[in-house]
Structures are given as C-alpha cells and as structure tokens.
Amino acid sequence: MHVQNQPYFAEPLHVGRPNIGSPERFHALIDEVLHRRWLSNDGPMLKELEARVADWIGVKHVFAVSNGTVAMEIAIRALGLTGEVIVPSWTFVATVHALRWMGLTPVFADIDPETHNIDPRDVRRRITSRTSGILAVHLWGRAAPVDELSAISEEFGLPVLYDAAHSFGVSAGGRMVGNFGRAEVFSFHATKFFNTLEGGAIVTNDDDLAARIRLMRNFGFAGEDSVVSEGINGKMHEVSAAMGLVNFDHIDEIITRNKSNRDRYAAGVESLQGISLLPLAAGEKSNYQYVVLEVSESAPVSRDELLKALRDNNVLARRYFWPSVHRMEPYRTESPDAGRTLPNTEAVSERVVVLPTGTAVDAPEIDAIVEIMAQALSRA
C-alpha cells in the first residue's frame, strides 16, 4: 500500500534493467565453458551466437565483439574513413566519440523531429570535399531513412555505416536492419533488450570488408604466427556469448513483453494533455525497446517537472540523450555555436523522457507510473 509523502515505489524502477532469459540455463552454459577451458578467441559459444544472429537477420557476416563502441571503431577503420564524417548529434555519445577516438572529425547533421532520425536533406548540406562517410543511427529501434541515405551514398560515393545499437530485430521496408549500408553495428550491452552482459556485433554483406574486420578484431592475425594487418582486441568472450545464447532462446518473449508494456503506456498516456509516445514506423518489425515520451509545450508541466515527479516516486526515467552530443565535451568547446544549425536536435532534446520497460517492469507498475504522471499534470 502506498504511504503518502513516501516514494510510490520502495525500490527504484530503472530504464535499462537487463532482460535475463534463464539464469539456470546461463549457469549451465558457464559450467560448460569452464569445463571446456576455452574462454575466448573464436570459441564454440561465440560461433553459435554469430550463426544465430546471421540467421535471424539474414546477413552474410557477423562478428561478435566486446561492445558496440569497439564495433563502431573497428568498422570505421575497416571502411577506411578519414577526415570528416557526418553524424547526428541526437544519439548516445558513443556514436560520436567513436569517430573522434579514431581521429576523425564528426560533422553534426540535424534530425527529423517526427522520427528523431538523421535528416537526409541536412546530410546533403553538410557534405564537403573532406567528407569520407556517413555514420547514421537507427534511433530508438526505428530505422533511419535508409533509401534516402543510400541515394546520397551512391551520388557522392560515400559509404554509410549504421549505428544499429538500438535496432536489433527491427525492419525497414520489410528488410531486417543489419542489411543496410556497407556495415551495421549492434550493441548487446546489459541495458539493451538483447544483451550479452557487455557486447556488440559488426554485420555486413560485403566479403572484402568482412575479411578486414575479421583480422582487425584479433590484432590482425591471419594464422598462429602471421599478422597481416593492423588490429585490436575486439573479441567477445565465451561467457558473454553464453548469455547471448540464453537470451536468444527468449528473444520473442522479450519483444512481446516490450510490446505489451508499450501498448499499456500508450493507452495510459492517451488522455494526458500534451504528452505522447514517439510513434513507431508503421508496418515494420520493432523490438519496442525504448518507451520514448515527448512532453510538448501544451502540457501543463515541463519535461523536467514531469521527470522530477517520476523520480520523486523512484521511477528513474531518463532524459536520453540530453544534453545532445554537440553540447558535451570536447564538441561544445570546439563548436560552441553548433546548436544554431541543429534546431530540431535542440528542440527534441528538451522534450524527451524515456520510461522504464522490459521484463523487469509489469502492467501494474506501468499503471502506477501513468498515474504518477497524471497526478503531476493535475497538480500543475
């Protein structure tokens, strides 16, 4: 029973609470790994995971790696990107940091406020003689405008790399994400709907690129004593791969649960003035991983007031991705006026709240979260 003046929830409700398929099965697989004494470096669990991912999204090459950021860094290097790369500022900082870490100059493009994805018209405006590629993000589990970006890619000869960290299991035009651009990278971080504890993958249908990625993930080794390229340690170990296999067995259940959570939130917020859920792409597959709420100017409370009401009740909703990357260091100091040419990014970043979902959140909790928001609105 809720005691007045106490948070509604005694324990915090987090965004990004991990989904864990079956702890018992995971323990059994860890035992297998330990008994086999094969802990990393192309082990059997990793191979099985890569095969399942390839089969699930219908892509030719899958390289499971230690995390999504390293996945991007390897893909950036394997694509040979140099100079400037066009990227949205409305994303998790890792997207942009990966470019910068590889010595490249991120050039921010604005987004479409209806989808939160990169705006291809603005991408065109940002192309210069120094541009070597486009790093687009399928944000929130909604595919970026792949057809328009593909047209730009062909017209200007620029490779497109997709940060698909949010979009494992998502489709665009009926095709699974993982099959667009020259390569795509996934994150399988603990907070993603499908996790390998930490982890990620680079996927591509390009054989030559795949050969370079394979080498680069493992220090450039082509054989026991033969190093034929530069490389890094990007390998996923067997315990992470085991977690992936366990979660794969439950992936449909997790998506179904995410969908029913989202549907419940959608029905609940329908009557709340000025508050809505970011729409999904009609007719496409989604993982329903993020419940993205937008608080418009017509709402009786501001985004931050709503967030405070939630947090006062132990609902640890997030302002992802506030502040936008161009307002974070080192980008802010380097280009203090970048926001002037990113009006949609600036506006969207002021109105978003991401709500808890996943298998750790149930229907009565969602009803209570909606009620907390309704009360915050009615008090205003």
* Position 25 contacts ligand T4K (CB under 6 A): no
Nearest distance in Å: CB 270, ligand T4K: 26
Q: Candidates 316, 328, 368, 374: give the one binding ligand T4K (CB under 6 A).
A: 316
Q: Let me know: does 96 contact 329? Beta carbons within 8 Å.
A: no
- Under the binding rule (CB under 6 A), the answer on residue 137 touching ligand T4K is yes
The residue within the footprint of ligand T4K, chosen from 7, 18, 220, 300 (CB under 6 A), is: 18
Task: State the Cα–Cα distance between residues 294 and 179, nearest whole angstrom.
Answer: 30
Cβ closest to ligand T4K, residue 190 vs residue 368 = 190
Q: For ligand T4K, which stretch binds (CB under 6 A), given 8-16, 210-218, 241-249, 331-339?
A: 8-16
Q: Which is nearer to ligand T4K, 133 or 377 (CB)?
A: 133
To ligand T4K, the closest distance from the beta carbon of 65 in angstroms equals: 9
x-marked contacts with ligand T4K along 91-130 as a string, rule CB under 6 A: xx-xx-----------------------------------
What are the C-alpha distances in Å from 311 to residues 29, 236, 292, 298, 347? 38, 35, 16, 22, 23
Which listed range, 67-75, 109-117, 147-155, 323-331, lies at the site for ligand T4K (CB under 6 A)? 67-75
Residues 190, 198 contacting (CB under 8 angstroms)? yes
To the nearest whole angstrom, how small is the minimum distance from the Cβ of residue 297 to ligand T4K? Answer: 26
Task: Quote the CA–CA distance of 250 and 100 in Å, as a whole number.
Answer: 36
Whether the CB-CB separation of 74 and 216 falls below 8 Å is answered with yes
Q: How many CB atoms lie within 10 A of CB 128?
A: 9
The letter for the amino acid at 125 is R
Half-sphere exposure of 380 (CA within 13 A, CB side): 20
Give the residue with the Cβ less far from ligand T4K, 139 or 377.
Answer: 139
Cα–Cα distance between 138 and 169 in angstroms, integer? 12
Positive or negative, the Cα torsion across 196, 202, 207, 212?
A: negative
* Residues of span 176-205 touching ligand T4K by CB under 6 A: 187, 189-191, 200
By the criterion CB under 6 A, which residues form the site for ligand T4K?
A: 14-18, 67-69, 91-92, 94-95, 137, 163, 165-166, 187, 189-191, 200, 316, 320
